[in-house]
Amino acid sequence: MYKTEDDIFIWNEFLAGNDRAYEFIYKKHAQTLFTYGLSLTTHEDLVKDCIHDIFVRIYENRKNLGTTNNIRLYLLSALKNSILIAFRKQNTYNKFKESIDKEDWTDTDTVIDKIINTEEEIERKMLIDNIWSILTTRQKEIVYYRYVEGLSLTEIAERQNMDYQSVANIIYRAIKKIKKFYSKSD
């Protein structure tokens, strides 16, 4: 199989039509993409659809794609763009409301249990959305890289073409905003 460090080789194999390389790329990066997508939005189905669309698009257009030395970064960037485009095309609140309205209330839980669970889920999603809404896009990305991906400040600085201190300042400001938000909501 492939070594995970051989991004250039794997990508070139995929571009040359090797379906095993494509499968390897999917298996290696799909979960990371899903986690990153959920850091941008709480709409799991939207994230899954965007990931699916990315992999379909790169497969169909592989003859026109350029090379990359970092497949994960390439896919993360594509996912972020795909989610932003999806938000522009649809009113996500209405989609979410429709899915709740179509909920099947006939399984073993009582209607009351379903309503309570749905309300609790909506509250959690609203809290997460509210927290994310107070952060800038740059802060969301940097916080994601630091606390979800576990990258060091130096790695983040290199990835974002920033200096170390700027990354540290962005993380500090983001945490400060979140703490301030929590103190207001108590």
Q: Where are the domains of the chain?
A: 1-95
Res. 104: pLDDT tops 70: no
For the record, the structure tokens of 180 come out as: 């301030």
Of 117, 95, 94, give the one whose Cα is nearest residue 107.
117
- Which carries the bigger pLDDT value, residue 186 or residue 40? 40
d(CA 81, CA 78): 5
d(CA 70, CA 132): 27
Of 42, 29, 41, give the one whose Cα is nearest residue 2.
29
Q: How confident is the model at residue 100 (pLDDT cuts 50, 70, 90)?
A: low
Alpha helices in the chain (DSSP H): 7-15, 19-40, 44-60, 71-89, 92-101, 111-134, 137-143, 153-160, 164-185
Res. 39: pLDDT tops 80: yes
Chain position carrying tokens 């983040």:
156
| Amino acid letter, 36 | Y
C-alpha distances (whole Å) from 28 to each of 38, 70, 118, 133 are 18, 13, 33, 30
Stretch (H or E) spanning 75: helix 71-89
Q: How confident is the model at residue 91 (pLDDT cuts 50, 70, 90)?
A: low
pTM over 0.85: no
Res. 130: pLDDT tops 80: no
d(CA 32, CA 48): 12
Q: How confident is the model at residue 52 (pLDDT cuts 50, 70, 90)?
A: very high
d(CA 45, CA 134): 23
Q: How confident is the model at residue 1 (pLDDT cuts 50, 70, 90)?
A: low
CATH classification for the domain delimited by 1-95, as one of 3.40.50.1370, 3.90.25.10, 1.10.620.20, 1.10.1740.10: 1.10.1740.10
For the record, the structure tokens of 185 come out as: 């909501």
| Mean per-residue pLDDT of the chain | 81
